[in-house]
Amino acid sequence: MSLAAATREAVRRRPFLHAALRAGVVNYTAAARYLADEVGDDTDAISTALNRFADEMPDYRTDARDARVAMRSGLGESDDDPLLVVGDTGFSPDSGSLTAVVVTGDVDAVALSQAIACLTTTGVDVVAAAVAESLVVVVERRDGANAVRAVEDALDSVPELGGR
């Protein structure tokens, strides 16, 4: 595999770096040093490969989603009429001390990914999450209000797909 191909693959394994390249906010030399252990010791060549890869990517664009965000408190692990099931674990109302942020409208896996990223950078731990016809994120009760704000912010800046 060529150094350019190895660099592209290394970037694809790091979504934060991929997004930063699309947004044009990367110091190529610093990014090359970051990838050097995986890609190779020639940071100048890696930097050049990153620059060329970034030039081929579409610009980073975001899109606000038309969605409604609501909070439901009192969730717990239970199989009794669950609001959310992830694997074998159900989360039902009136059975615990967790809070769910429920989003209806224009939701998909990209919106869920952005929501989890915003929750992570806000310091909110996600207990469970999924998306189908609605997007549901379960957090600790004390994090409910911060989680709603973070998810609302996330929905205002969902990245458009592209740049594969």
The rounded distance, in Å, linking the Cα atoms of 67 and 62 is 15
Q: What is the mean pLDDT of residues 139-155?
A: 97
pLDDT surpassing 70 at residue 15: yes
What is the model's pLDDT at position 164? 42
Please write the tens of the pLDDT for every residue from 60-72.
Answer: 888 889 999 999 9
Q: Beta-strand (E) ranges in the chain?
A: 62-63, 67-77, 84-86, 89-92, 98-105, 126-131, 134-140, 158-159
State percent of the chain over pLDDT 70.
98
Report the C-alpha gap between 164 and 150 in whole angstroms. Answer: 27
pTM metric for this prediction: 0.83
At residue 162, the pLDDT reads: 58
Yes or no: say if 145 and 155 are a contact pair by the CB < 8 Å rule.
Answer: no
Q: What does each C-alpha distance from 38 to 76, 91, 163 come to in angstroms?
A: 42, 41, 22
Are 67 and 156 in contact by the 8 Å Cβ rule? The answer is no
* Predicted confidence band of residue 91 (pLDDT cuts 50, 70, 90): very high
Q: Which domains, ranges and CATH numbers included, belong to the chain?
A: 3-56 (no CATH), 62-159 (3.30.70.260)
